[in-house]
Structure 1
Amino acid sequence: MPTQFSFNSLKHIATITVMASAFTVQAAEIATDPGDYVPLPEGVNLGILYAQYTTRDEVYANGDKQPVNAGLDTTIGLARFVHYTDIGGVIVDPQIIVPFGKVDLKEPIGGLDATSETGVGDPLVGATAWFVNDPDSQQWFGLSGFASLPVGQYDEDKGPVNIGENRWKGIFQAGYVKGFGDHWMVDLIGEYSVYGDNDDFLGFRREQEDSQSIQAHFRYLFSQQTHVALSYYQDFGGETTVGGAEQDDELERNRWLATFATFPAPTIQLQVQAGQDIDVENGFKEDSRVNFRILKVF
């Protein structure tokens, strides 16, 4: 353990660990986009590139804003490949997601010096299987499972300021989509995540309880090529223990996100999103979030 960290200082550092990690800095472990739970036909492939920039300058503990100078910026990219196939009459989309980018802690906090980290994070592998796939009645229901593999870049001396997390994660989702007429669609997603231990977090073992997320997307389709949406994310649980000490740092956070997406060409979709946190019980609060996505169908 580096000499500049005391056990008491870890109580302050750990309140930001979930939000300061490059991949868990967003509301859910896998924050879905509007339309993610509507499957494409067998044989279709997707190549997707995401860019996400988020700023934060407030820290909360037990719902109270802390009187500290704080700054955490993240510039994160995601490369994703999806393949749709048919297994026994069920559409399934095996896929891989690889995060990369930069985490920048701009102000010292809780005994942790200002620092940054860049690199490639922990890839996720998994799939969704659709057990209801009924375009005629505009209804879809799918179950998803993903595993996060602890092979990304990780520096044990930087604790929460890392691209990788040095632990396994299991992420499970259930998604239901219903269309109403020619223009309106509602997407409802529930997520449950389980975590392995990080056995070298600033010289300590970090454990985390299971977390849950509810995600909702309300879409208006101008046409089959263009839509706008308003999304809501709510997170629960996920309290951590560092060195055997409970951190009292449950997620308890929510945020909104607005989306505009269009196909400027038959096989290319562009998407832009903007939003921010509404309430945060523990950790950094997002001042602003801007996401870009380009999707190629082939």
Structure 2
Amino acid sequence: IEARLPGSVGHTGETGFGDPQVGGTLFFVNDLERRRYSGLLTLITLPLGEYHAKNPDVSPGANRWGATFVYNYTQGIGRDWVLEANLEAQFYAKNDDYFGSDLEQKPLYRLQAFASYDFSQSTYGALKLVHADGGELKLQGHTLDATHQRYT
């Protein structure tokens, strides 16, 4: 990972393995004939990656646990159309060694909607709409300005 961080003169970087994720999807509906699917994807981020406490902004590991939950509903319409909706929530544990301080992050929530059309077996076009809210950061209990994410 290499980056030029705000306020720095040059680039900084670190190498190593990032935090692994483990998880899977539990399907509530898996109807191939009607092209209807629904499931809950659960991913747990394990803080096992290389963490560089002196350079945490470009560290491959985050030094914290994480959990992501994505509920998906997919419906085929006719032969060529597919509509999808995702509800996503990301939760983060505390990083207790962010430049020697505690870094906390509030949950981040997303709603995603997709519409796709199959022009052929190998070509499709799609539209995607995403709305997100949350993810505010706190350092030593103080909210960091402009870290709350809200976008569409």
Common fold: TM-score over 0.5: yes
Which of 150, 167, 179 matches 2:64? 167
Task: Count residues with an aligned counterpart.
Answer: 151
Counterparts of residues 98-137 of structure 1 (less than 5 Å)? 103-106=1-4, 108-110=5-7, 114-137=11-34
Provide the aligned C-alpha RMSD in A: 1.9
**Matched position secondary structure for 2:15:** strand
**Matched position secondary structure for 1:126:** strand
Q: Deviations 1:80-118 (Å, cap 9, x if unpaired)? A: xxxxxxxxxxxxxxxxxxxxxxx2223x51468631122
Structure 1 residue 133 displacement after superposition: 1.3
Gaps of 5+ in 1: 1-102, 255-298
Q: Distance in 2 between matches of 1:168 and 1:217?
A: 29
Which of 137, 149, 152 matches 1:251? 149
Q: Deviations 1:251-274 (Å, cap 9, x if unpaired)? A: 1134xxxxxxxxxxxxxxxxxxxx
Q: In the alignment, what sits opposite 1:213?
A: 110
Output the amino acid matched with 2:141: G
Output the amino acid matched with 2:93: G
Q: Distance in 1 between matches of 2:131 and 2:14?
A: 28
Q: Deviations 1:182-221 (Å, cap 9, x if unpaired)? A: 1110111110111111011111110111110112222111
Output the amino acid matched with 1:164: G
Structure 1 residue 225 displacement after superposition: 4.3
Which of 64, 67, 76 matches 1:179? 76
What's the TM-score once normalised by structure 2's chain length?
0.89
Counterparts of residues 1-298 of structure 1 (less than 5 Å)? 103-106=1-4, 108-110=5-7, 114-248=11-145, 249-254=147-152
Q: Distance in 1 between matches of 2:19 and 2:8?
A: 26
Question: Which runs of at least 4 in structure 1 moved beyond 6 Å after TM superposition?
Answer: none
Structure 1 residue 235 displacement after superposition: 1.7
Output the amino acid matched with 1:176: Y
Structure 1 residue 224 displacement after superposition: 4.0
Structure with higher RCO (Cα < 8 A, 6+ apart): 1
